[in-house]
């Protein structure tokens, strides 16, 4: 069983937050999910290569060419705040 403190620690890494009243029910369901995935620990996988993806074709380098890029105005339409053609956030360096 995972503790509420551990859940809070993981949430911090994931940039999420749980209120105290949410935390109880989340921790409970989260524990069930973790118990469930632990089943695979019984399998002996010594010497087996990990499979990161299925494709067996080698990657390749693209020719360097200037490709069409997205329109700046259109891209900025999806942000909350922009200024002088840039995304605007709060000041992080004094």
Partner 1 sequence: MDITNLKSWELRDKILNKEISSYEVTEAFLEKIDEVEDEINAFITIDADRALEKAKQFDQKLMEGEEIGILAGLPIAIKDNIMTRNLRTTCASKMLEKYIPPYNATVVEKITREDGIILGKTNMDEFAMGGSTETSYFGPTRNPKNKSFVPGGSSGGSAAAIAAQESALSLGTDTGGSIRQPASYCGVVGIKPTYGLVSRYGVVPMSNSLDQVGVFGKDVKDAYIALKSIVGYDPLDATSSKKAKLEDIKFEEISLKGLKIALPKEYDELRVEGDQEIREVFKKSLKVFEDNGATIEYVSLPYLKYALETYYLISTAEVSTNLSRFDGIRYGHRALDYNTLDELYINSRTEGFGEETKRRIMMGTYALSQGYKDEHYKKALKLRTLIKNDYDRVFRNFDIILSITSPILPFPFDSVINSPVDMYKADTYTVPVNLAGLCAMSVPMGEVDGLPVGLQITANRFEEKKLFTAAYGFERSAK
71 binds partner 1, rule: CB under 8 A? yes
83 binds partner 1, rule: CB under 8 A? no
CB of 31 to partner 1, least distance (A): 10
Note whether 31 and 37 are within 8 A (CB). Answer: no
Give, for 11, the enclosing helix (H) or strand (E). helix 4-13
62 binds partner 1, rule: CB under 8 A? yes
Report the C-alpha gap between 79 and 88 in whole angstroms.
Answer: 9
Q: Between the CA of residue 85 and those of 49, 54, 68, 69, 93, what are the distances in Å?
A: 47, 40, 18, 15, 20
93 binds partner 1, rule: CB under 8 A? no
Footprint on this chain of partner 1 (rule: CB under 8 A): 7, 10-11, 13-18, 26, 29-30, 32-34, 36-41, 43, 45, 48-55, 57, 59, 62, 70-71, 74-75, 77-81, 87, 89-90, 92
């Amino acid at each position: 069983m995972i503790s509420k403190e551990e859940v809070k620690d993981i949430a911090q890494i994931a940039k999420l937050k749980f209120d105290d009243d949410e935390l109880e029910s989340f921790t409970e369901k989260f524990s069930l999910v973790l118990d469930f995935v632990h089943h695979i620990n019984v399998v002996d996988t010594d010497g087996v290569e990990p499979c990161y993806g299925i494709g067996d074709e080698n990657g390749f380098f693209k020719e360097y060419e200037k490709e069409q890029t997205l329109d700046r105005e259109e891209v900025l339409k999806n942000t909350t705040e922009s200024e002088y053609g840039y995304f605007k956030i709060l000041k992080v360096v004094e």
